[in-house]
Structure 1
Amino acid sequence: MFLKQVKHWFIARANAARWRPIHDWAESRQGQFRLAKDGRGFLIEQPKAMPGSLRIEWGASQRAYIEGTELRMRCELRLHSDLQMMILCRQLMEVLERTVFEAYTDTLKTRVDTDTPEEMRWLVMFPKVTTISSKLVRQRFGALGVNKTLAADWLEGELSEILAQASQDLLPEGHPFVLMTMRGNVYLRTAMTEPTLPKIQALVRVLESACREALRINGKLSERGPWPTTTSVAWHSSTPDEDVPQN
């Protein structure tokens, strides 16, 4: 037990030193950086971020379609609760579609249950965007939503431009990436073997662009009746350990 605690302490201390640039960047943005309980991941909380409270986590993947570790982010915007849209890597979309089809044909299920992640359930439930003006974005990403017109509008303008740029290096072809709006928030999830400050900063810019465009779309919504929704857990937060050394 003692040796295990010593090993944990050394891992946490080494990671804290390696992630010092990320720690300093978070603090420069009035955010709080904390190591995960096991010292193998971290959490950044920035309550006063713009356009909304920001939470960033890096650690073990919470999705089967991402192996190893991932970066996940959430920005709280208080969007319309029924504004459900998703943009994802096109290769990942094709893989998830096959997975859903095989799972429910093999077991003779007739409906998608709530244990299935939103990413997979939405592929069955919501219409896909068929018109994307940017050829590069159309080739590399897919989009869908409870309202296809709004989802298509989201994937235009500023967000389309930043995704086209990201596809050249930050999000290479086949790299797992999901961007979603639900429960009033915007979520980003992507594979990341080792966290680096430049990559995190670039992905925050992608998220911020998605948030600005989501707010624009939100302004177009009518209050006439609810849209169909789905519910499940999109985010399982890691609990940081306040006592883990960070210096």
Structure 2
Amino acid sequence: MVIKQVKHWIKHRANASAWKAMQEWAEARGARFEQMEEGEGFEIEEPGNAVGRLLIEWGPAQRSYVEGAELRLRWELGLNADLQMMVMERELCDRLESSVFEAYTDTLQTRIDTDTPEEMRWLVMFAKLDQWKSKLARSRFTACAMSKEVAGAWIEGPLSEALALASQDLVPAGRPLVMLTQRGNLYLRLALSEPSLEALQGVVKLAEIAAKQAKQVHQVLGEAGVWPASAAAIWPASSQMQEEP
């Protein structure tokens, strides 16, 4: 027991040193930084964030499609629960789509198991965006929602540009990234074997842009009273973004 306690103490001390920069960054934002039990990761809670309560975790992956560790984020935005939109790294999307159809397609009927994670079911159920402002972002990510128009309204502008920028370093090809809105919140998970302040800041910046854009979509749909079936009428397809030349 004593040896175990000593090892636990040594691990926490080592983590405290390795994660010092991230702890200082969090505390400077008025957030709480805490190591997870057994020193397998950390948690940052920022209840006073102007966009909404923010929770960040780094630790063992909670999805089978992510190997090793991941960075997870939940941003409480107070969105309508019916606002369901998603962005996914394209190689991961192709892999999960293949898995879903292979596992749940029999003869002429496609059956979606409710135990399957939302992000996998949505790839089959939701409309995918086919026009992006950034060709680079389109080549590296897939976006879907209750309609193409809703997905486009979320991706258009700053988020498309932010995804294109993230594809250069934060989300290289083949690194699993999923970002989605559901239950009123924005969720993000990124495969990340070792945490760093640079990666943490990059993820928060990307998520903040996505969160603000999601709030705009929520506001427009709410004012129009079109949750969710007739949302496409608010953004006619002809008025959606045009790709870069």
The residue type paired with residue 6 of structure 2 is: V
Secondary structure class of the residue paired with 2:9: helix
Counterparts of 1:108 and 1:60, CA distance in 2:
38
Count residues with an aligned counterpart: 228
User: Are the aligned partners of 1:72 and 1:189 in contact in 2 as well (CA < 8 Å)?
Assistant: yes
Partner of residue 35, structure 2: 35
Secondary structure class of the residue paired with 1:220: helix
Q: Deviations over 1:186-214 (max 9, x none)?
A: 11110011100011001100000001111
Partner of residue 2, structure 1: 2
User: Are the aligned partners of 2:83 and 2:228 in contact in 1 as well (CA < 8 Å)?
Assistant: no
User: Are the aligned partners of 1:31 and 1:46 in contact in 2 as well (CA < 8 Å)?
Assistant: yes
Deviation of 1:24 (Å): 0.8
Q: Deviations over 1:110-163 (max 9, x none)?
A: 521221111101111111111112110110010101122111111110111111
Alignment of 1:126-145 (within 5 A): 126-145=126-145
Secondary structure class of the residue paired with 2:55: strand
The residue type paired with residue 225 of structure 2 is: E
Partner of residue 105, structure 1: 105
Deviation of 1:12 (Å): 1.5
Partner of residue 223, structure 1: 225
Counterparts of 1:225 and 1:165, CA distance in 2:
32
Alignment of 1:125-204 (within 5 A): 125-204=125-204
User: Are the aligned partners of 2:133 and 2:157 in contact in 1 as well (CA < 8 Å)?
Assistant: no
Alignment of 1:4-83 (within 5 A): 4-83=4-83
More helix by share: 2
User: Are the aligned partners of 1:12 and 1:40 in contact in 2 as well (CA < 8 Å)?
Assistant: no
Identity across the alignment (%): 53
Secondary structure class of the residue paired with 2:193: coil
Counterpart check, 1:115 vs 2:126:
no
Deviation of 1:171 (Å): 1.0
Deviation of 1:225 (Å): 5.3
Higher relative contact order (CA 8 A, sep 6+): 1
Partner of residue 94, structure 1: 94
Counterparts of 1:109 and 1:36, CA distance in 2:
44
Q: Aligned Cα RMSD in Å?
A: 1.9
Unpaired runs of 5+ residues, structure 1, are 228-247
Partner of residue 210, structure 1: 210
The residue type paired with residue 69 of structure 1 is: A
User: Are the aligned partners of 2:31 and 2:45 in contact in 1 as well (CA < 8 Å)?
Assistant: yes
